[in-house]
Structure formats: structure tokens, C-alpha cells
Amino acid sequence: MSELQSKATDAIANGESLPTPLPTGKRDSNELSDNITDDSNRVSKYPRLDANPIQDDAFQSFKSRLIRQMNHTLPVDETKVFSYLTETRQEISRILKQSIVQKESHSVVMVGPRGSYKTFLVNHELKVLAKENGDQFITVRLSGLLHTEQTAINSIAAQLESELQRLNPDETLSKDESMDVSSGSLTEVFEKILRLLDTRKTHTLETSDTTSTISVIFIFDEIDTFAGPVRQTLLYNLFDMVEHALVPVCIIGSSTKLNISEFFEKRVKSRFSQRILYMPECKDLDTFAGAAKEMLTLTQPKDAEENRYITAWNALVEQYIKDEDSAFFEQIRNNYETFKSIPLLRNSFMPVIGPCETFEQAEQSLKTCDDMVSYTLNQFQGTLGASVQSLSELELAFLLAAVRTATKNKEETTNFNLTYVEYSDMITSLNARIPSTTNLNSNTNQIVENLVKLWDKDDIKNVWETLQELTLITDKGDVGLRESATAVFYASNYIFQSASTPFDLRLFNIHISLLELRRIVPKSSIFYPWTQL
Amino acid sequence: MNCISTTDHQCFPDPLHRAEAPIAHPISMSVVGREYQLRCLNSFLSPDPSLAVQTLLLQGAAGTGKTHTLKAWLDEHPEVPTAILRSTALVTWKPLLQAVARGVQAGLRKSNQSSSSSLPAPLDPLQVEDLAGLISQLTTLFTTYDCPQTFLLVLDDLDQLQDLDATILPMFLRLHELLPAGCPMRTVHIVRDAQFVGRYAPFQLPVVVFPRYTEEELLPALTGALATSTSDNTIDASFLKLLIQAFYSYTGSDIAALRDLALLKWPQYSKEVAGMDSGAPTAELYRRTRHLFVSPDDSLASESSNTTSSTNYELSDISKWLLIAAYFCSYSEARYDPSLFAHRQDMKHGRSPYGRRKAREINPTHLQPNTFQVERLLAIYQAIAPADGSSTGASASTSGSLRALLNEPLRHANVEVFQNIAELYQLKVLSTNNVNTGGNLDFLSPKIKWKVNVGWEIVLEVANSVQFDLRAYFSEVGG
């Protein structure tokens, strides 16, 4: 604890005024720019004290490598792919090699839930192939979350232009060519693209003067968003290109829909190769633990001397994964039995290694996994139960009154007026049981006042709004998040009945039941008896 | 203007002027109760882009220190160029995209200011009409400007964007796939609603949750909030303790509300305790200033206004009687109208409308109003409104004879009455069952059903202003 913090804590305990904070100076732009550009002269208010600089560098190097591995930002030849994805990876690699090297046209759709490494595998294999065959293909990326059919055309044209420029920096598209590609219908656009690719030709191989055609790789995320009920023109043209184009085209789509082929129109389905790759999952706990181990086990860097921390760390990881009683294995098992998700395991592991400054801290952190537990507990603090536990007494009392009123109501709704009546009945009944000089026939001059305060209706309105903000109660007519910008636009022009109803008469639904409140409210609370009708 | 607003509601300009913002309270003081969250930020974010996650979500209710903690992390890493956007000021997706382009350009230009070469001509962010335009501009920016560190794009209160739809967050999640390889931009989304985060759970993003402050954490957090928002650091800790004890149940963990109350009551408190010994016990301080801690007194109404006095609401007499009549129409049953409003005595005989054997479980005035036809409104209006223009609601002749009935001056429905009905409709005091009429409402159409749109308290005040005893007709309503 810093000296200032301890002083402040003492001051609070003694009821004194707090010490003045640090002088609030203005940082001038020169200082700020120094901070940004020159890392070695970084002006930080909290400089770290390194006990052993040499050891610290090695540890920092190890820590950076570990975090990069978890973030998949290591160089491609050092990036690990999980073993359980090997077959899928080989399949993708084969398809891409056939397209890029052997100049064949292919199409495949990868199907799997989010976070199953579909995009990661494709990107990884493309990076591997780019090392030796980088000038033999261009990549066009589309995403159903980012593009509509119309904007996809412009995006394809823009990406083509930039990729062709990358391959042939000396040859640039003329203004007419670049503006012309994206104009016209989808079919015309695709014809122009093919013509463009044909005429642009290609690259010159390094070992000879021969030229060969460029392969075009389309990576199509969320391909199912383009497989709507109306004409699937973009997909039709893309798959048609695979069938008939002279230029080798490879389309790799990805989707979360298991029955993606049923989404395609007949003409699209007939042009699609029907090749669907289902992403594998970890079938059992051993495989899952193996994947976790691979995520955390490091290889020594190729161009640097051996880092002893890496060796020690790998041994620790191996040890804790083999030991089923270890805290780390327990976390793996918990994740496997609930989410079965390597990305979520990675998220919870980041706070384990992130704050560590020495290897001993990292070792201890891995041994206890307290930070993983803390992260998981932190996620539960956003739930309704945690929100109820964070309420003040008045907020809790009013929520109880709302829930009681809604429970008594056939439609399970309530409004502010009814809730206030119930609240005032509750408090009146509560106060009748609390001894005070107003209740007792006392002749003494002493005043005993332990009654619970009954707040005014005007003041309670703030509490009602707080409950709304915490989404413990919501407007009965509330629709929620609209699916698209168009839906939002139409909704914004529509006046809802509830918007014109007086505040205290609007009907609300309650998102927590009396039974759940009975479990959450502590038995020592004075409002506990009210959790039952 | 794109700006960052902290829990102090203090607006920080865009990164071009970030250097001019006062240095925050020391990190150890200002993030009390948020040490774990800061530790998580240190794990997920880094000046080195290869060590930072692509997207990070910070989730927590309003006033839980999300932006404040992130600012503390940024203060600890001044080398990280940042663009911080306040989504509530941007309304729809197009200004949001333009603001992203503007913020990123501003951040990159700021971070490249010290380089020897002159900065290229700035791009026009208003040319970003759609996502493709944003991708194009970001690609140009990151290839033109030098940025070896992480560039942090922060979207504050993203779920409070007025025209938010379900595609906006996924758009930002996938944006990096279309930017140049190795682009150092990383995004942090600050979100209030846990259900909004839950909707995107399949994306398996790292999330750091900010729970509401506990009562014990409130004092240091409030002290930090006051220190950063005011230049005067002399607010006594004992005052803050009393304030929290008195109003915690009312404000909950809302730091902003507590801060507002502290700033409201501190001048009075310091005046009251001015003559007291500085070492006086807390109980003595409380006894002297008890009246300050009984009520929040944070209403917008002036202190001198008498809440029991009637207010006119700037309505004419006819409008007031129409409003009272509309309230009867919505909240009393039509079958009791003759008993309640008939001028002939013999029609008033018989069973009282509320002389039921069993009391109602729910007060009907607490429920939503029922609809009625305009004819019923006019009939009750004629029955209750005085005909001579006086404000008193004295009943008409009680002789009961037919001659007396014929001689009795009644308020007939005339053009003034309909003008006042239109006025009440414009004021939204009366509403219809069809809200989307586009202004072409046929008041006399039999298909249109009306209802009163104000609550009991307001109608009671209006009735008191014309000396009409409304309570007599609603015996079940207290207060």
C-alpha cells in the first residue's frame, strides 16, 4: 500500500480531512509526445523497481511469448495449432495448395460454433502458403456481419485493386478500370472481375520468366447471411465462378449453421461442391486438457538463446495437468463440464499471467489459480442475483413490494402506484412490530426511535428508476434490441402506447421471482419475511 | 463534440486536448474498490499490440467506475494513443462511424506530432458514409501514420446509443479482419446492460464486470469523485460519512447522486458547524445538522412552494372541469353515472355505487384508465360543471320539479368545449386509443375512444383549484 494510501486510510478512520492530492499540473504537448514516441524515456508515475534487470528481461521475454501464443500473434512458423484440429487443418491446407499451387478451383464451407477456430485455421494456412507462394494468390475477405450484397461488390473491387497493386506495384489500375469494376449488376461485376484478373495476369516467377495465373481465394465469413430467402445472387455468381472461370478460384465459407446447405437455393446448391467441413470438438476431458496444455506450453524461440523460464514453465504446466487434484486441472475440468471452450479458458487465464512481475509470482499464480477463480466469480457479478445483493435496504424493500404485487396480479405485472401501496403497507406493518415511544405508553422523556422510515412517493420514484436501470424491472411494452438498422428506423417513427402513459401507471414486468428473492435475501434481513406471500 | 464523460459527468475533450486535462487523483486513491478490475485491465491491455486482446468489454451499471478505471489505466500508460467516443452523443450508426474515423485520425496525428516529417493532409471524416468508407479511411490512416503501439478505440456506453441495433457490436468485433494485417487498433467497449453482453456470449469475448460499490467502498470512492470534480478539497470526511449513512438507502451505490447531494448540502452543513470545535464528536455534529439529513431536498420544485396549495396548470376553467369529467369516465363505471351525477333526486335514491358488501382489493385509481366515448365525457361535464361560470361546483337546483329542470341553466356542449378538448389532447392530458393518427383526429368519430392521461394527484389538485370535492366520489382513495 502506498504511503499516500495509508495516510488516506488513517485519515478516514480518524474522521479527518483527506490529505491534498498530488498537484494537478497540465501535461504539455511536448511531454506527452515524448511519452508516446520514446518508450525508454516514458514518464510513468509508477516506475517499476527491477531487482535483477537481467532476470527481469528473461522473464518479460517469457511472459510476452506466452501471451503472444495465447493471442495467436507469434510468427507463423512458431504458431501452434491444437492437435485435435490436425485433420481439419490438413484438409484446409490441401484445398488451398490445390488452388494456389496446382491452380484448381474449389469451394468448401466450414461449419462450427463460434470460437472453434475456423477463421484461425484458414488464416494460418494462408500465412504458411504466403511464405513461399505469396505472389501466386490474392485474398478477398467478405463477412456477413460487415457486408450486404451491395456493399460486398464494392468491397470485392476495392480489395482486388489493393491486392493486385501489392502483386504488381508497377502496374496500377487506371482510373476508369478502378471505378468501373464495381458498377453494374452483380453478374456484370463478376464478369469484369474475371476479365480484370485475366488481363492483369500475374506475376513473374523468380526462377524463370514464365507467368502463370493468379489464384483468387475468397474467404467468406458468416456465409449463411447471404443465403437468404430472396435471390442469392452473390453466392450464385461466386460459385459459378468456381465452375466456369479460367482463373482458379477457391471459396472458403464459414458458418455456424449445421444445416447450411439447406439454406442455399437450387441453382447455388448445384454449383456448390457440397464439401462441408465440420469443425471438430474436444471429445473428452483428456483431449480438452491436452489442448489447454498446448495453449500454455511454449517452444524455445528460434533466434534467441534458450530461456530457462520456458523450460521451467513447461514442466509446471505438465505437472499440474497430470495431477487431477491440482487447482489448475480443476479449472480445466470446470470449464470442460460447463462451457467446453478453449477461448473462455484463455480469457480466464490471462489475469493469471498478466500481472506477474517475477517467475515466482507466475509459479504461485499457476499453482493456486486464484486469479482464474476470481475471474469466473467476477463474471457472476453481472447477474441479476448479484444486482439484488448490491441493493440498498430501500431499493430491496421496493423491489420486494413490486414482486409481491406482480405475483398477486394475474398478468404478473405491476405499476409504480400499486408497488408504493404495497411498500407502505409493508413498512407500516413492520413499524407496528418495532417498539418505539409512539407505540409504547411511555411516561419517560426518553425517545426511542427505531422505526423504518417510510419514504415519500416523490423520493421513491428515483428508486423505481434505479430498478429499471438494473433491468430488474422492464416496461411491459418494451421490445428490446432491434435486429437491424432498418427495424430501428421504423421503430423510431412509431409512437408506443407506453410512452404516452403517465409514469406511475405504466405496467412493468419483473425479472425475478419471489422464490428467487427468498434465496438471495439473507435471513437476517428485516425484509426476509416479506419474501413469502 | 466527441467527449468522454466520467462518473463525475465531467466532459473531457477528444484526444487532441487530452494533455490539457488535469491529472487524476493518484491511481491508488481514485480506483478504490476497483483494484481487481484494474488488474484485469493490466492483463488484457498493453501498449504492445501483440500482447493486447483484440476486443475487451467492460460491463457495469452506471456509476460503477468503468470509465474512471480505464482512465486510470490510460494515465498509467500515456504512450498509448487513444480515441474515446461517447456513444450517447452520437445517436445513430452513421455519426458513430464518422466519430470513429475522426477520433482515430486525431489520435494518430497527436501521436505523430513529434516526428520530423510533416503530417499528411487530414482526411474528411464526414466522407465516411458506411462501413466500407470507414474501413477505407482506417486503412489509409494506419498505413500513412506511424503507430508502433497499441491504438485504443474506446466506445463508452455503447449500449446507450439511441438507435442501437444488434449488428453494431458484431461489426466492431469483425472490423479488424478487413484492416491491414498487423493493424495495432484494439477496441474497448464500455457497456451498462448485462443482458446486452449476454446476447453476444457466443463470441466468447473477455469481459470485466464492475459491480456496484458496497457501502464500505462508497466513502473513498465518493471522496475520489469529489476530489476530481471540484477544486475545493476541504469537504469533511465526517460529513461524507453522515451523508452516506443517511442517504445510502435512497441513492444506493450511485456515486453521482451522492456527489450531487454532497455538493448540495455541504455549504449549509459547513455554515451550521462553523462555530463548533473541530474535534467535536460525530453525534454532536449530527444533532446540530439533523434537518439536513432527513430529506434529500433535491426536488426541482422551489422550496417556497406550498405543496398543498392548488396550482392551475395554466388550464382554463372549462378544461379543468373537462379533465375532472374525463377522470370520472376513466375510473368510475358507467352504470353508476345516474346515481352520481343525476340532478333529479329520485334517481339518486337506491344503492350507493360503492356500497358494496366487499371492499375492493385494488384501488381502481392505481390502475390504467379505461376508455370512454366523448358523449359520456360531455354528459358528465354538463352534470358537474357550474353553469354560471363560477369556480364553485355547487350543484344545481334541488327542487326536483320538471319546471325547475327546464329552467335550470345547463352548460351545453359548444365550440368552446370542443376547443378545450382539443387543447387537452394537445397537452397529452387526454389521449385516445389510437396514438398514431398523424394529427388527423376526428374527435367525434364513434371509433375513437378516449382516456385520461394523468394520475390521481394531478386531478386532485385541479379539482381543489375549482373547489370540487373529488374525494367524495372516490372514497377508497387515501392521501
Q: What is the ipTM score, two decimals?
A: 0.83
Instruction: Count contacts between A and B (CB, < 8 Å).
Output: 289
Q: Which residues of chain A have pLDDT under 50?
A: 1-5, 7-9, 11-13, 15-51, 53-54, 175-176, 178, 202-209, 439
The domains spanning A101-278 and A386-531 adopt the same CATH topology: no
3-state secondary structure of B157: coil
- For residue B282, what is the nearest residue in chain A, using CA coordinates? A15
pLDDT band at B414 (very low <50, low <70, confident <90, very high): confident
CATH architecture for segment(s) A386-531: Orthogonal Bundle (1.10)
For B54-95, the pLDDT digits (tens) are 999 999 998 899 999 999 999 999 999 999 999 888 888 899
B93/A485 touch (CB, cutoff 8 Å), yes or no? yes
Contact A380, A389 (CB under 8 A): no
Q: Give pLDDT, residue B23.
A: 31
A379/B241 touch (CB, cutoff 8 Å), yes or no? no
pLDDT of B15 over the 50 cut: no
Q: Give pLDDT, residue B48.
A: 93
Mean pLDDT computed over B116-123: 81
Which of A149, A179, A389, A392 is the best residue to mutate to test the B interface, defined by the most B CB atoms within 10 Å of its own CB? A392
Higher pLDDT, B385 or A492: B385
Q: Tell me the shortest Cα–Cα distance from B40 to chain A, in angstroms.
A: 6
Mean pLDDT computed over B238-245: 88
- Contacts of residue A488 in chain B, CB cutoff 8 Å? 163-165
Query: Rounded to the nearest 5°, which phi and psi values hold at B76?
Result: -75, -20
- Contacts of residue B460 in chain A, CB cutoff 8 Å? none
B40/A71 touch (CB, cutoff 8 Å), yes or no? no
3-state secondary structure of A390: coil
3.40.718.10, 3.40.50.300, 3.40.50.150, 3.40.50.10420: CATH of A101-278: 3.40.50.300
Q: Give pLDDT, residue B13.
A: 35
Annotated domain spans of chain A: 101-278, 285-382, 386-531
- For residue A456, what is the nearest residue in chain B, using CA coordinates? B295
Residues 6+ apart with CB under 8 A from B357: none
Q: Give pLDDT, residue A83.
A: 93
Any idea which of A132-141, A289-298, B148-157, B350-359 has the lowest mean pLDDT? Answer: B350-359
Higher pLDDT, B269 or A439: B269
Q: Which residue bears the cell 419517560?
A: A444
Contact B153, B187 (CB under 8 A): yes
Q: Give pLDDT, residue A443.
A: 56
A378/B195 touch (CB, cutoff 8 Å), yes or no? no
The pTM of the full predicted model, rounded to 2 decimals, is 0.82
Mean pLDDT computed over B444-458: 86
pLDDT band at B396 (very low <50, low <70, confident <90, very high): very low
In 3D space, the residue among B251, B169, B430, B180 whose CA is nearest the CA of residue B324 turns out to be B430
Q: Tell me the shortest Cα–Cα distance from B49 to chain A, in angstroms.
A: 9
- Contacts of residue B367 in chain A, CB cutoff 8 Å? 415, 417-418, 505
Contact B221, B35 (CB under 8 A): no
Higher pLDDT, A295 or B365: A295
Q: Which residues of B64-86 are buried (b: 16+ CB within 10 A; e: fewer)?
A: bbbbbbbbbbbbebbbbbbbbbb
Element holding B284 (H helix, E strand)? helix B282-288
- For residue A465, what is the nearest residue in chain B, using CA coordinates? B251
- Contacts of residue A466 in chain B, CB cutoff 8 Å? 252, 254
Q: Give pLDDT, residue A32.
A: 34
- Contacts of residue A141 in chain B, CB cutoff 8 Å? 177-178
- Contacts of residue A3 in chain B, CB cutoff 8 Å? none
- For residue B116, what is the nearest residue in chain A, using CA coordinates? A37
Any idea which of A485-499, B197-211, B319-333 has the lowest mean pLDDT? Answer: A485-499
In 3D space, the residue among A145, A144, A180 whose CA is nearest the CA of residue A160 turns out to be A180
Round the average pLDDT of chain B to a whole number and report it.
79
Question: What is the Cα–Cα distance from A464 to B211, expressed in whole angstroms?
Answer: 19
Out of A35, A145, A470, the one facing B174 most closely (by C-beta) is A145
Question: What is the Cα–Cα distance from B232 to B218, expressed in whole angstroms?
Answer: 19
Residue A357: how many other CB atoms lie within 10 Å? 15
Which of B35, B164, B196, B204 is the best residue to mutate to test the A interface, defined by the most A CB atoms within 10 Å of its own CB? B204
- Contacts of residue B250 in chain A, CB cutoff 8 Å? 392, 394, 455, 459, 462-463
pLDDT band at B437 (very low <50, low <70, confident <90, very high): low
Length of chain B: 479
Length of chain A: 533
Question: What is the Cα–Cα distance from A34 to A23, expressed in whole angstroms?
Answer: 21
A114/B36 touch (CB, cutoff 8 Å), yes or no? no
Mean pLDDT computed over B199-225: 90
B173/A145 touch (CB, cutoff 8 Å), yes or no? yes
- Contacts of residue A373 in chain B, CB cutoff 8 Å? none
Q: Give pLDDT, residue A444.
A: 55
- Integer-rounded Cα radius of gyration of chain A: 32
In 3D space, the residue among B195, B193, B163, B197 whose CA is nearest the CA of residue B57 turns out to be B197
Which of A1, A28, A37 is the best residue to mutate to test the B interface, defined by the most B CB atoms within 10 Å of its own CB? A37
B166/A483 touch (CB, cutoff 8 Å), yes or no? yes
Which of A16, A18, A457 is the best residue to mutate to test the B interface, defined by the most B CB atoms within 10 Å of its own CB? A18
- For residue B49, what is the nearest residue in chain A, using CA coordinates? A73
Out of B26, B110, B171, the one facing A145 most closely (by C-beta) is B171
- Contacts of residue A154 in chain B, CB cutoff 8 Å? 132
pLDDT band at B237 (very low <50, low <70, confident <90, very high): confident
Higher pLDDT, A426 or B340: A426
Distances (CA, A) of B450 to A473, B429, B443: 28, 11, 9
What's the burial of B123, exposed, middle or buried (CB within 10 Å: 0-12/13-18/19+)?
A: middle
- Contacts of residue A467 in chain B, CB cutoff 8 Å? none
Q: Give pLDDT, residue A64.
A: 93
